[in-house]
Structures are given as C-alpha cells and as structure tokens.
Amino acid sequence: MAFIMDSQLGALRSEAATLAAISILNYMHAPAMGFSYIAALTFAFCTLQKSKPLDSKRKRVTVSLLSVLVLSYVAQALYYLVRVFADDSWTAPQHTVIHVLSSILVLGFIDISLYKADSLVWHPYFGTFLFNFFFETTLCALNAVSHSSHDRLNGVPFILNAIRLAVTLGLVVDGFLILIQTRGEKGTDEEGQSLLGKPVNGTATAPTANGGDGYGTIAQDPASDEEEEPEDRDKEIKEQQRKRLEEQGGWFGYIKGFAIFLPYLWPKDDWRIMACLAIRCLDVVQGRILNLLTPRQVGIITDHLTNGSHTMPWKDIGLWTLYSWLGSFAGFGIINSLASTFVQNYSYKRICDLAFNHVMNLSMDFHSNKDSGEVLKSVDQAESLNSLIELVLFDVCPVLLDLVVAMWYVTHLFDMYMAFIVLSMGLAYVWLGISFTSWTQPKRRSYVEKSRTENKTVYESISNWQTVAYFNRGPFERDRYKSAVQNTITAQYAYMFRSYGGHAVQDVLMTFGFAGCCVLAISQIVSGHKPIGNLITLIMYWDTMMSPLWTMAYSYRHIASTLIDAERLLQLLNTKPSVADTEKPKDLIIKDCKVEYNHVGFAYDERKPVLKDVSFVAEPGQTIAFVGETGGGKSTMLKLLFRFYDVTSGSIMIDGQDLRSVTQSSLRDALGVVPQDPALFNQTIRENVRYARLDATDAEIEEACKAAAVHDKIMTFPDGYKSKVGERGVKLSGGELQRVAIARVLLKNPKIVMLDEATSAVDSSTEAQIQEAFKRLSSGRTTFVVAHRLSTIVEADLILVVDHGEIIERGSHNELLSLGGKYTELWTKQTAGVQSKANSTDDHDKDATMATELLIDITPEEEEEEEVDVLGKSTGRGDGSDRDESSVVQRKPLG
C-alpha cells in the first residue's frame, strides 16, 4: 500500500512539474519570440546589414505558413471561448489563454511586416522561426506526456499544437533555404534608409578644399517648381551621415563620434551642476514611486469608505495630499525644473563656446565657401544635444521603466488578463503612432519647405528693398509673397488632415481599450474577487500608464531629427582648418621688417595655378607696389602674407622666419590691412575704430581719425563719434568707410602695412591727405600696396608688375617707364583715357562700356582669374578702368 501511495504521489509530483513547465513556457513563448525579433532587427539596423529582396514565390510560401500558424492560435482561442459558453463551470487556464493571445499578437505583427516588406534583412525572421520551433517542440512533447492524465478534452489544443509544430518545421526549412538564397546577393541597405534618406542625386559629396565634408555648401535645387514635391533641405547632411555610418561600421561607431561633446556636457569640475544632475536623477526615481502611491492611496480611501466605516480616514487623506504635493510642480517639480534649466544652460554655453571658437579659427577657404545661414544654424542648434540627452535619459528611459512597473502593478491589482490588455493596447498605440507618423511625414516635409520658402521670400524682398524700389516691383513682390503664404497654408492643411486623422484613430483605440479594462475590472468586482478601490486606482493610474505611450510613439522621430541637428554641429567641428599652427610654433619677432618671397607658388585649385615662382625682397622701410590687370594675383600675395592661405610651394619669410613656423596670432598682430571693401560692425564710429586696439583712449582714436582725414567729417554728424554706422557700415559713403578703415590701421600702428586699393573711393584732395598720413605710417615700416590708379604708387620704392601670377617687370616708376613694357602700356592707357574722355563723348561711352565689362562678380576662388566680358571673351584690360575714373581727372599732375 505504501508503495502504491508513493507511486501515486510521485506521479502527481511529476504531473505538477510538467504542468508548471508548460505554464512557464506558455508565458515565455511569445515574449521570447518578440524580443529575439526586435533584438535581431535592432542589431541589423545598427550594423547596417544590407536588406535584400525576397523572391515573390518564396515570400508567398512563407507568409502563407505564418498565416496558418496565426490561424491555429485563433482557432484555439475560439475553442476556449466556445467551451466557456458551453460549460459555465469550466475556466481556461490563464497561462494558456495568455500564450494564445500573445502569440497571435507577435506572430501576426511579424506576418504583416513580412507581407509589406519589399526587401528585408532575413536573419531576424529566421531567428524567430528557430525560437518558435524550440518552444512548439517542447510544448508539444510536454502536452503529449500530460495529455492522458490531465484532461481528455485537451485533445483539440494538442492537435493544434501538433499542427503548429509541423508548420513551424516548414518555416525553419523554408527560412534556411531563403538564408542560403539571399547570401551573397547585393543589398539595398533598406534598414538605413528610413532615417538617413537617399544620396543627393545619387552622388557622394565631394570634400572641400579645407578637408571637411563639404559643410556649409548644401546644394539647392535651382529649378524648384511650386507644383513639385519639395526636396528635403537636410539631404546633404543625411547623405554625409550615411557615408559616416558606412565608414564607421554602423550606428555603434557613429554614436561614438559624438563623444567629442562629452567633456562639454559632463560638468565634472562644477559641483553645482553635478548636484543639479543628482536632483534630476532623484526626480526620476521619486516620480516612478509617486506615480504608483498617489492612485493607490485614492483606492485605499475608497475601500475605507465602501466598507461602511463612519470615521474619517485622516491618515490616508494626509498621505494622499502629501504624495500629490510632492508630485506637483509646487513640490519637487519646481526644484527639478530649476536643476534642469541650470544643466541645460551650462551645457549650451559650453557647446556654443566650442562651436563659435572653432568657426572663428577656421581658415579663409572655409569662410569663402560657407553658407552663413547653415553655419549660424549649426551653432544655434547646439541645444539639440541637450534635447537628445534630455529625451534619452529623462523621457525614454523613465517611460520604459513606467511600462514595466505598470505591467506589474495592474497584474497585482487584477490579473494577467488586465496586463495583457494594457500591453496589447500600448503596443498597438505605438505601432499606430509610428505608422501614421511615417504616412504624415511627406506632408510635413512639404509644409516645412513651403514655410521656409515663405520666410525666404519676405526676407529677400525686405533686404532688397532698394532694388524693388528702383524697378517699381512692389506689386510683384506682394503677389509673390501672397502666393508663398497661400502655398504654406495649403501644405499645412494637407499635413494637418493626416496628422489629426492619426490622432483620432489612436484616441479611438485608447477609448475602447480603457472601456475594456474597466469592464474586466467591474466584472471582477461584481463577482467579489476584487474591492472597488482597485477600480478607482486603475482609473487614477490610467493616465500615468498611457501618457508614456505618446512619447514612445513619437520619440523615434524626435531622436532622428535631433541627431540630424546635432550632425550639423558635429560636421562643423570635424571641419579642420587648412591653415594651422605647427605643434610647437613660436611667436613672430620683428626687428627690421624685412619680407622675402622665395619662389612662391600658389593655387586655390591645383588644376589652375594662381602664382608661379614669385620671388622678391622688401627691404625694411620700403614701399612695395603691385600693379597689373585684374585677376593677375596681386591681392593673393597679400592674403599669403597675412597667412589666410599657405603657399603651395616656396616660402615667405619675415626677418628670416618662415610664416608657417610662427603663430598666426603673433603674425596678424604685426600686420595692418586696409582692404578694398572695409566692413564695420553696427556700432558707433568710436567703437569701430577702437576695435583695432581695445585699450585705446578717446584722444588716440580722434588723432587716428584726423590722420585719416575723417575727423572733420565725423564731427558734422549729429551724434559725432557716437553715430552708429549700420550693418557693415552702410550708413557711410564709400570714401568715409575707407577712411574709417584707414584710421583703424593708424590706431593699431602695425609693423607691416598692407593697402589693397586703400584710396580707391576718395577724391584727390582727401587722397593727398591720406597719402601724407601713409608716409608717416610707413616711416621705418615695410608697406605693401595694391593699386590700379598708378598715380598713387609713383613714389613706391619698388613696383612689381604682375601678369597671370608672374612678376614680369620690377623697378621704380621712372625705371619702368624707361623700359617701355607692360607698365608703360598701363600708364599710357590711363593718361590717354583721361584725354579721350575729355575730348570725345563717344570715347566716354566706350570707356564706360569697357568699365561695365569689368564689373563682373568674382568669387574668392575666381578672384585671381583673368576677367571675361559678358560674351565670355578676355577683356585684356588692366588699366584700372573699373575704378572711379572721375577722380582720375582731379588728381595731382602725373610724375
């Protein structure tokens, strides 16, 4: 008897162990499949695995098998439903129902995604099939063992289980064949396309001269049509991002590139900011706790009242009030907000300072090619990094934690069915959000593009007001702006209709999901299994559970756009200056101001040399003048001396020191430049002149202005030296602007002076005063002058005639005239031009026409090229006729 009892006891224990194993496997089956699928898909995305097209026949077979698998679970769910209605005393095992419903959810989603995909990465699907085969095999074996003794009516689930095992085996075999078939096929990188977009015109971005990634030169479509779908203005940024992803082996390596910002985002040396970060982390923890305690306390109060108690639950009310206060803005919220503001401002200040300093330290080739709007946008978008960190650390991570806690808590309040409903509805909500966002995105892109066009239109019209007035095109500009506004409104409607439709569908799902949860809760309360306080807790906790779903649904788009914004700044910081100090540079030491050009060669583009084997020596105190036709290379020589560019070959020496071996700062401290087109800050005249020497007194500023022959003119202004000059000095005339620039150099009192057509916009009387000031300034200093008006350089110690990047003549004014060469030709043309203009109206028109031909807009790279007229022919002019010839008539007698 004892033996029989022991045997029966062992059988019962074995059966219990088998049922426990079946229960655990049922709970784990669907989550394991879903996790493996998402993890494999995420890994494939991060490592840029190539998506590959699937043969249509093979795809139909796979989708059909998956559909059969899903239908088998649907059939089992219907079987349980029919049996419940047939036998009120029978209840389906909870683990089995959860297994069936969750499997329908996971496998149905995978089936739909496979059906909709044109090309895909196969490994996530094949891995899911393997997981499913393992679970189905194990469950089938355990059900076979327990079938005879557990429940005879389990025959239908067992048969369905066997069918699923056979179908899953077919999926594994089919998946293996597909894996072999797709191996080695060329992919389309589909996984990387949703965020990164497509290459611009199918081509990669060519690097710029400064070694960057083409930053600041985003190509715009010159033929954009109002009726066409607008191009995304971030295309080039996305293309460069895609290239960097491929170079760095995927998202893991790409994200590491942002590590450059960590020293500026992590305030390791500021204990106050570290304390603020600690407060933020504490807020995340206490928020999760209070999210549970507050609705729970309301449920406790409700249970107290429904139990027939006639005493006030002061303790419970006090706790509820305390929890509510702590979770409100008046409690911990205001402290967290202040801490968040301090942290964001600290990081923003550090990153903006980094970006601004980097831009200002970049070389002239970058600033000559940059798109100022893009650069300014990049610096402004430094805050996007703060947004990214804020989103990931303090939005997404707490949301994930909230979902885990919510699943546990609703299970504690009711049962697994409630948790399953909440989880299913949450996943469906997120999926709808992502789907509708993708559907809405093209219309949003169109709306944003139209809005940008509207802003661009109004900016262009207002900034070019004078041009509009000159041509009386006010009505045309009004119509153009009205059309842009209407296009923006139309695009907004198209976007909003889709967006509102998506929100409506999500709200419908949320409403019915909430109703289903309440019905389930009420049924358990009516049956006496749960107290009414649990329902109140669920209702109070509902918003806490559902609010994170919106963040989950739309955070991926926010993260994508934030990465694009941060990518602009990252590319900017990765742009290296083409002119940089050596590892151990020395400060420039000036003794005699002797400048030597030793076989200097230079080219903006290696395919077209600008300077060829230029050699000369500027002795201390000498004045060196460069003359010649426009585009010959004169201004480039000054740029090389200022080290805006480094020479391609040869060297430039100052007192025996190679410019490349000294610091740029010490070099530029020793130089003074009066450019042809000076630019002033929109500040007072006094502040603009003081910019040359920040510690200069007002008396020194006025002395410099007197020496530049502009003091008397300034004193006629209503505000004198306090007069603001406007943006870039537009309120001053050309002559006034140039004399203020000369005053700045006089105040700086540099060792070496460079004048690039410094008197081109002044009359002869003022020119004489300025020339006298330059004589004083040049005393004991080396001076370089670029001039078209040859009368201004007749007293130069050495005149260099530059033609096509070569010095073809050199000597003093009289020596060059005696040679009868190019200089004599230029001199003769200028003097003959004056006589001709005085005697002949036709000749005057001819000169005006030739001068007009020379007024061609030249970019910095094309500045040294030979000028061409509107017909594309060489003008062959170098007589300076593009200058103010009216002043030539008034100037002092030649020679």
pLDDT per position as a tens digit, 782-813: 888 888 778 778 888 899 988 888 888 898 88
pLDDT band at 486 (very low <50, low <70, confident <90, very high): very high
Indicate the average pLDDT of the chain.
Answer: 75
Please tell me whether residues 809 and 873 are part of one structural domain: no
| Coil, strand or helix at 675 | coil
Of 822, 847, 871, the last residue of a domain is 822
Please count the structural domains in the chain.
Answer: 3
Choosing from 783, 800, 822, the residue where a domain stops is: 822
Look at residue 450 and tell me if it is in a domain. Answer: no
Between the alpha carbon of residue 385 and those of residues 264, 358, 379, 391, the distances in Å are 11, 17, 11, 10
| pLDDT given at position 332 | 83
Looking at the domain assignment, is residue 706 inside a domain? Answer: yes
Question: According to DSSP H, which parts of 779-821 are helical?
Answer: 813-819
Instruction: Provide the CA 489 distance to its chain's centre, in angstroms.
Output: 26
Specify whether 804 is located in the same domain as 842: no
> Which of these ranges, 552-566, 608-622, 650-664, has the smallest mean pLDDT?
552-566
Same domain, 21 and 128: yes
Question: Pseudo-torsion of CA 735, 736, 738, 740, nearest 10°?
Answer: 160
Domain-located, residue 689: yes
**Regarding predicted confidence, which is higher, 540 or 225?**
540
Q: Are 741 and 778 part of one and the same domain?
A: yes
d(CA 687, CA 724) in angstroms, rounded, equals: 9
Distance CA 113, CA 431 (A): 11
Average pLDDT over residues 561-576: 70
Q: What ranges in 464-603 are assigned the alpha helix state H?
A: 465-470, 474-526, 532-574
Q: Residue 131 — very low, low, confident or very high, per pLDDT cuts 50/70/90? A: confident
Question: Does any domain span residue 736?
Answer: yes
Q: How far apart are CA 162 and CA 252, in angstroms?
A: 42
Helix 734-748 to helix 764-778 angle (10° resolution) is 10
Among 392, 388, 393, smallest CA distance to 280 is for 393
pLDDT of 50-72, one tens digit each? 777 877 888 888 889 999 999 99
One domain for residues 46 and 138: yes
User: What is the average pLDDT across 624-644?
Assistant: 84
Does one domain contain both 33 and 165?
yes
H or E stretch at 865: none
Helix-helix angle 56-86:155-182, to 10 degrees: 160
Q: What is the pLDDT of residue 257?
A: 65
Where among 192, 223, 253 does a domain terminate? Answer: 192
DSSP-assigned letter for residue 177 = H
Please check whether residues 881 and 805 belong to one and the same domain.
Answer: no
Q: Per-residue pLDDT averaged across 497-508, rounded?
A: 87
Yes or no: say if 358 and 529 are a contact pair by the CB < 8 Å rule: no
Q: What angle do CA 378, 379, 382 make, to 5 degrees?
A: 90
Show the tokens assigned to 846. 């001819």
Closest by CA to 705, choosing from 750, 751, 742, is: 742
The mean-pLDDT minimum among 79-88, 186-195, 330-339, 375-384 falls in 186-195
Q: In the Cβ-directed half-sphere of 665, how many Cα atoms lie within 13 Å?
A: 6
Q: What is the CA radius of gyration of the chain?
A: 40
CA–CA separation, 401 and 201 (whole Å): 43
pLDDT in the model for residue 663: 86
**Of 594-603, 703-712, 765-774, 851-860, which range is least confident?**
851-860
Same domain, 813 and 855: no
573: nearest Cα among 378, 735, 416: 378
Task: Give pTM, 2 decimals.
Answer: 0.56
797 and 842 in a common domain = no
Q: Which two tokens stand for residue 797?
A: 């110690």
* CA torsion angle 632 668 777 725 (round to 10): 90
Q: Which of 627, 655, 652, 654 is nearest to 812 (CA)?
A: 627
| 326 located within any domain | no
Query: How many CB atoms are located within 10 Å of the residue 579 CB?
Result: 18
Which of 48-52, 181-185, 459-463 is modeled with the greatest confidence? 459-463
In a domain, 420, yes or no: no
For residue 275, what pLDDT band results from cuts at 50, 70 and 90? confident
Q: Are residues 710 and 786 in the same domain?
A: yes
Distance CA 327, CA 321 (A): 10
Residues 811 and 840 in one domain: no
Structural domain for 848, as ranges: 827-890
700 shares its domain with 795: yes
Roughly what angle, to the nearest 10 degrees, separates helices 271-306 and 397-413? 20
Give the closest residue to 473 by CA, choosing from 483, 484, 461, 485.
Answer: 461
pLDDT reported for residue 734:
75
pLDDT tier at 238, thresholds 50, 70, 90: low
CA dihedral 325, 331, 337, 340 (to 10 degrees): -110
The answer, yes or no, to whether residue 862 has pLDDT greater than 80, is no
Confidence at 230, pLDDT banded by 50, 70, 90: very low
Through-space distance between the first and last CA atoms of the chain, rounded to whole angstroms: 140
Q: In angstroms, rounded to a whole number, what is the distance separating the alpha carbons of residues 622 and 430?
A: 77
Neighbours of 473 (CB within 10 A): 15
pLDDT of residue 5: 57
Angle CA 250–251–252, to nearest 5: 95
Among 233-242, 367-376, 597-606, 772-781, the range with the most confident prediction by mean pLDDT is 597-606
Q: Which pLDDT band, with edges at 50, 70 and 90, does 455 fall under?
A: confident
* Residue 681 counted as domain residue: yes
Q: Residue 873's Cα: distance from chain center in Å? A: 43
CA 175 to chain centre: 40
Query: Is the model's pLDDT at 449 over the cut of 80?
Result: yes
| pLDDT value of position 483 | 92
| pLDDT number for residue 369 | 62
Residue 405 covered by a domain: no
List the beta bridge partners of residue 782: 752
What is the DSSP-derived secondary structure letter of residue 882?
T
Residues 6+ apart with CB under 8 A from 431: 109
